[in-house]
Amino acid sequence: MPESCVDTYALEGVPLAADDPKMKAIQVYVVYEIRGVKLELGKH
């Protein structure tokens, strides 16, 4: 999920590899931010 957002909305730069530490940091941040939120199909 984060990689598509980064690829789609990045104004400059190079796409991150799935195993890049920066990608892992983004994934951890997203998981932290949505903790306790019920995910609904098609909205997240």
pLDDT of the residue at 40: 80
Chain segment 1-44, per-residue pLDDT in tens: 555 665 555 566 777 788 989 889 988 988 898 888 887 877 65
pTM across the whole model: 0.57
DSSP string, 1-44: -HHHHHHHH-SSS-PPPTT-HHHHHHHHHHHHHTTTPPP-TTT-
Q: Where are the domains of the chain?
A: 2-33
Q: Residue 1 is encoded by which pair of tokens?
A: 């999920």
